[in-house]
Every structure is written in structure tokens, then in C-alpha cells.
Amino acid sequence: MIIMAVNPMQKAHDAPRCGAKTRRGTPCQSPMVHGRKRCRMHGGAYGSGAPKDNKNAWKHGLRSKEYREEKRRGREIIRQLRDLMKGVC
Ligand SMILES: [Zn+2]
């Protein structure tokens, strides 16, 4: 007779749980979908959610990847100029 020391389903039971608030007010506690913070019923389903760089909600682009990159380059140039000025003065 083989005695199982470890429950083979323990790994599934230990899966991280969804914390969405249910109608009862308690956390959902269904397992999270891989790579998501919620279960399949609370917005974690594949194909749900906004697309990457949500172009549907584009307003002015102030938080776009391109603009943030441009601001980062500008700050880098200012930093370099400031270092150059330190050598002059
Ligand atoms: Zn849930």
C-alpha cells in the first residue's frame, strides 16, 4: 500500500487567489488566471481588458511611450549640459 505524504492537488490549492469583491462583500478567492490579478470571471479572462498602449482612449499622447522617451532624452541632454557647465565655471 502506498501512502501519499503530499496531496497531489496541494499545488492547485496553493495557487494565488482572486481578491475581487463579491456581492456578499467577501473576496472571490477563485484562482487567478496566469499573468493576471483576477480570476476568469472577474476580468482575468484572456482577450479581456484594454489593448496594449490603448489607442482607443488616445487623447493627447502626453503619457505615450514616444513622448515619455522624448522627455527622458531631454532630461539626459540637460544633465549632460549641467555637467559641462560645471567644468567651465
Ligand atoms: Zn474572482
| 45 C-alpha to ligand 1 centroid (Å) | 10
CB 48 within 8 A of CB 38: no
pLDDT, tens digit (0-9, with 9 covering 90-100), for 2-61: 776 888 899 889 999 999 999 999 999 999 999 999 999 999 898 888 777 667 778 888
Domain count within the chain: 1
Its pTM surpasses 0.75: no
Q: For residues 32, 33, 37 and 41, what is the CA-based torsion angle, rounded to 10 degrees? A: -80
> In angstroms, what is the span from residue 58 Cα to ligand 1's centroid?
29
Has residue 41 been placed in a domain? yes
Cβ < 5 A residues, ion ligand 1: 18, 20, 28, 30, 39, 42
25 alpha carbon – ligand 1 mean position (Å): 12
Report the separation in Å between the CA atom of 63 and the middle of ligand 1, taken as the mean of its atom positions: 30
What residues make up the domain containing 67?
15-47+62-88
Q: Is residue 25 in some structural domain?
A: yes
